[in-house]
Amino acid sequence: VDKKDAKLALAHMIVAFTALFLGGICGLLQVLVRSGKMELPAGIGYYQLLTAHGVLLALILTTFFIIGFQFAGMSRTAGTLSDKTRLAGWIGFWTMTIGTAITTFYILTGEASVLYTFYAPLQAHVGFYIGLALVVVGSWIAGFAMFVHYAKWKKQHPGQNGPLLSFMIVVNMALWLIASLGVAATVLLQFIPWSLGWTENINVLVSRTLFWYFGHPLVYFWLLPAYMIWYVVIPKVIGGKIFSDSLARMSFILFLFFSVPVGFHHQLTEPGIDPFWKYIQVVLTLMVVIPSLMTAFSMFAMFERFGRSKGASSLFGWLRFLPWKDARFLVPFIGMIAFIPGGAGGIINASHQLNQVVHNTIWVTGHFHLTIATTVILTFFGAAYWLIPHLTGRTFTNQLNQLAIVQAVVWSIGMLIMSGAMHWAGLYGAPRRSSFSLYGNSSQAADWIPYQIAQAVGGTMLFLGILLVLYIVVQLLWFAPKGDEEFPIGETEEHAEKTPLFFDKWWLWIIIVVVLILLAYTIPFAHMIEQAPPGSPGYRNLC
């Protein structure tokens, strides 16, 4: 990666890991409070912490890491960014950073304890929403810069498929752009006027629907960069080949189709949405599982073919040949394993009847700590171990590699305890998003306490894991020995079939996405606006 592009990517990484540190401290305090063994000092509110934790980790860490990684990936596979593209990248970076600072300020001053989903009728200071809007606008600028860069490559290479990693980046940014229109609409048209007092009420159902129109594809915006690393980087790290370039592209296009029109699976218990439309979106949710199953198949195939090429003959003998001592492989691999129960939990959540059991319980928190906080984050950590030294011109030494393996083990055990306890307690009805309470000495609530203590034990281990990863990242940024670290990009099998050219038919894909979104949302959305009871508190028609 060119030095100037490296600087841009590194700036994003630094904000991402700072967010990890601050968000991690909030996470530690939260689990301790919830165990009933600690009270927060200095008038800090539980929901203030929970908001900071969710915003800094789920929104800021992820967005900055992803955009930084993607700029580096574009530069590596589609060539050095032009001065204009890089400038757009910097404008996007500063817009997002200023937005982050404003939002964080209002959370820390206690004026925005509305959690990362900021559901109405919870209301924050207008600065919270403006800051978030700036983060979204900054990410759009970055996205457009990436589109322009890819289009330029295509122009210079007529009749060729865009490089796989760059293609995947374009899909992810297209997904993000389409999805974030929903959150931009609710923030600009509903929350900002309402928090400024320009409008008296807010249509809660519309705001939640626009949020989840964004909120579910958001999780795939997090997941797809992890899949980029699995599909493109891991084959090179283990010394194998990409199983199928076409399959990888196809799975990304399927994510583009199916990740947006599924937001109702977060609203299955909400009144005001006809069950028929919930049913349609549950079906579409099960469709979005397919590209993940394709990815699982592809990963198994890649690992097995590699092992067999080294001489493995028994059913699982190929496992022996994987580079278990290389953190660049092992850390994301643990992420893959976590996605087996994590994905199964997602399918449970999406099943309408089972959702009635788990919705708003701490099971859901367990689910997303397995998916985003293990599968995705461990893959990002594994990538940071080669990406940061590649960008800084340093090396990922043996010692750091060993520490990274210890980090992943600490993380896995901590998460197994914390997320396991969350899943279990959720099945006993323990609510999510609540501080410690004896609920008037209810015997059911008493049963949750041991699980809450287990969560505190697991959460403390996770905080230790954060300190370890931060130590490694600081070393890689400023102190590790100078050298050349590879940015690994896999190649396809020698005799692989040529990837068809139609994958770059972007207009067709966008039309299909728009049709699916209109199909899933138009009628129920029109109902929400029509049927909102105008006189009732908290409700107001949009128009």
* Contact indicator for 269, 212 with CB cutoff of 8 Å: no
For 183-209, give the DSSP string.
HHHIIIIIIHHHHTTSSS---HHHHHH
Shortest approach of ligand HAS to residue 479 CB, angstroms?
Answer: 32
Give the three-class secondary structure for 361. Answer: strand
Residue ranges of alpha helices (H) inside 259-394 are 275-309, 327-350, 352-358, 362-370, 377-392
Binding string to ligand HAS for residues 257 to 296, with x set by CB under 6 A, is what?
A: --------xx------------------x--xx--xx-xx
Other beta carbons within 10 angstroms of residue 19's beta carbon come to 24
Q: Which candidate, 57, 110, 80, places its Cα nearest to that of 9?
A: 80
Nearer to ligand HAS among residue 493 and residue 504 (C-beta): 493
Residue nearest to ligand HAS (CB): 343
For ligand HAS, the binding residue among 80, 117, 401, 541 (CB under 6 A) is: 117
Residue ranges of alpha helices (H) inside 393-442 are 398-427
Cis, peptide link before residue 389, omega less than 30° from 0: no
Question: Which tokens hold the place of 465?
Answer: 């894991």
The answer to whether residue 122 forms part of the interface with ligand HAS (CB under 6 A) is no
Give the three-class secondary structure for 54. Answer: helix
Say how far apart CA 406 and CA 468 lie, in whole Å. Answer: 9
* Contact indicator for 46, 30 with CB cutoff of 8 Å: yes
For ligand HAS, the binding residue among 126, 202, 336, 454 (CB under 6 A) is: 336
Residues 342-371 that bind ligand HAS (CB under 6 A): 343, 346-347, 349-350, 355, 359, 364, 367-368, 371
Which residues does residue 361 pair with via DSSP β-bridges, in sequence order?
431
Shortest approach of ligand HAS to residue 90 CB, angstroms?
Answer: 28
Nearer to ligand HAS among residue 135 and residue 288 (C-beta): 288
Shortest approach of ligand HAS to residue 295 CB, angstroms?
Answer: 4
Shortest approach of ligand HAS to residue 286 CB, angstroms?
Answer: 7
Residues 204-243 that bind ligand HAS (CB under 6 A): 219, 222-223
Binding string to ligand HAS for residues 133 to 162, with x set by CB under 6 A, is what?
A: ------------------------------
Residues binding ligand HAS: what is the number (CB under 6 A)?
Answer: 33
Give the three-class secondary structure for 42. Answer: coil
Say how far apart CA 229 and CA 249 lie, in whole Å. Answer: 13
Residues 54-93 that bind ligand HAS (CB under 6 A): none
* Contact indicator for 134, 99 with CB cutoff of 8 Å: yes
Shortest approach of ligand HAS to residue 364 CB, angstroms?
Answer: 5
Terminal CA-CA length for the chain: 49
Residues 17-36 that bind ligand HAS (CB under 6 A): none
Catalytic residues: 216, 220, 367-369, 432-433
Nearer to ligand HAS among residue 26 and residue 81 (C-beta): 26
Binding string to ligand HAS for residues 189 to 208, with x set by CB under 6 A, is what?
A: --------------------
* Contact indicator for 396, 383 with CB cutoff of 8 Å: no
Nearer to ligand HAS among residue 89 and residue 215 (C-beta): 215
Q: Which residue has the tokens 């925005």?
A: 112
For ligand HAS, the binding residue among 52, 175, 376, 468 (CB under 6 A) is: 376
Q: Which candidate, 406, 405, 390, places its Cα nearest to that of 476?
A: 390
Shortest approach of ligand HAS to residue 482 CB, angstroms?
Answer: 35
For ligand HAS, the binding residue among 330, 372, 445, 513 (CB under 6 A) is: 372
Shortest approach of ligand HAS to residue 463 CB, angstroms?
Answer: 20
CA distance to 28, 33, 47, 72, 341, per residue, from 50 (Å) = 11, 11, 5, 32, 25
Nearer to ligand HAS among residue 7 and residue 359 (C-beta): 359
Q: Which residue has the tokens 């954060």?
A: 466
Stretch of 28-36, 176-184, 337-345, 533-541 contacting ligand HAS, by CB under 6 A: 337-345
Say how far apart CA 316 and CA 519 lie, in whole Å. Answer: 45
Nearer to ligand HAS among residue 299 and residue 410 (C-beta): 299
Judged by the rule CB under 6 A, the positions of this chain that interact with ligand HAS are 117, 219, 222-223, 265-266, 285, 288-289, 292-293, 295-296, 299-300, 319, 336-337, 339-340, 343, 346-347, 349-350, 355, 359, 364, 367-368, 371-372, 376
